[in-house]
Amino acid sequence: MNPKERLEQYAGEVESVIRAWLPPEDGYQRTVAMAMNYSVKAGGKRLRPLFMREVYRLFAGAPGQGEENREKGKSGQSAGPEAAVEPFMAAIEMIHTFSLIHDDLPCMDNDSLRRGQPTTWVKYGYDMAVLAGDGLAICAFETAARALEVSDRPEAVARCMGLLARKSGVEGMIGGQTVDVELSGKPIDPERLDFIYRLKTGALLEVSMMIGAVLGGADEQQVEAVEKMASCVGQAFQIQDDILDVTGTTETLGKPVGSDEKNEKTTYVSLYGIEHARRAVRELSLQGKKILDSLPGDHEFLEYLIDMLITRKK
């Protein structure tokens, strides 16, 4: 298969993994489960779980691909070689979705459209959206812990849970979001803008790839290289988002454009200009791919994913 065909197949597999771990919509609390699932099922690029699994395969070696080669347990999850990474694939998407739910709230970016659909607070109300975000954050760690049941390396699973917590919390995504919110409508110097991008967006991509590397058996030097590679990719991804917020359309992106300007946010584009921003995306992507070339295994599909980030229109 060529990389485009692989992406189509892998995207379907990743989607199945994520949905298999979502909470049931029953009981008196079903409304919050419905809100949680609505938000996750709204779709998205699923880049984080995709990167996680491909980095895992880089170090562990690719098992037989396709549904016919995946031994299934009773609950529908894999019982084969990738059984331990799959709960983390679902967990990272839950963390990412929780951040989007809260990001869209009236007290934050006040957006009413996400992925072409009403945002969670518009669909279910402000109160239920807050609870749905909270629920996904907790469910993510409950799901990740299930990897302990299927892994023969519990110490690696425990380390990955710690990484997920650190990169999601005040030293990662939430820390970056905090500075972003505090400085909204105020001038931001390049150092703080870089800090926001590294933590708010980069941290979840970093931990996605680091978890894949740790579970795949990478050594410490390789895990550090993966973190640096992911940092480059994360910054490129966020700068491309800034560009699309200026050049894209609501129909293409599935969310309002111009929200950065509306919220008076300093972005890479407003600070440096669009041409400089485009050059930065290319340079960061090249840096990431250079690090990738130093790692073992087949890099073709991972390079394709990185290239997607600098050419995407949505």
**Whether the Cβ atoms of residue 197 and residue 176 lie closer than 8 Å to each other:** yes
Task: State pTM to two decimals.
Answer: 0.89
**Whether the Cβ atoms of residue 211 and residue 89 lie closer than 8 Å to each other:** no
**Whether the Cβ atoms of residue 90 and residue 18 lie closer than 8 Å to each other:** yes
Rounded distance, CA 172 to CA 195, Å? 10
pLDDT tens digits along 150-209: 999 999 999 999 999 999 999 999 999 999 999 988 889 999 999 999 999 899 999 999
Per DSSP, the three-state class of 77 is coil
pLDDT tens digits along 77-127: 555 668 999 999 999 999 999 999 999 999 998 999 998 899 999 999 999
Rounded distance, CA 128 to CA 36, Å? 9
Rounded distance, CA 141 to CA 210, Å? 16
Query: How many angstroms separate the first and last alpha carbons of the chain?
Result: 25
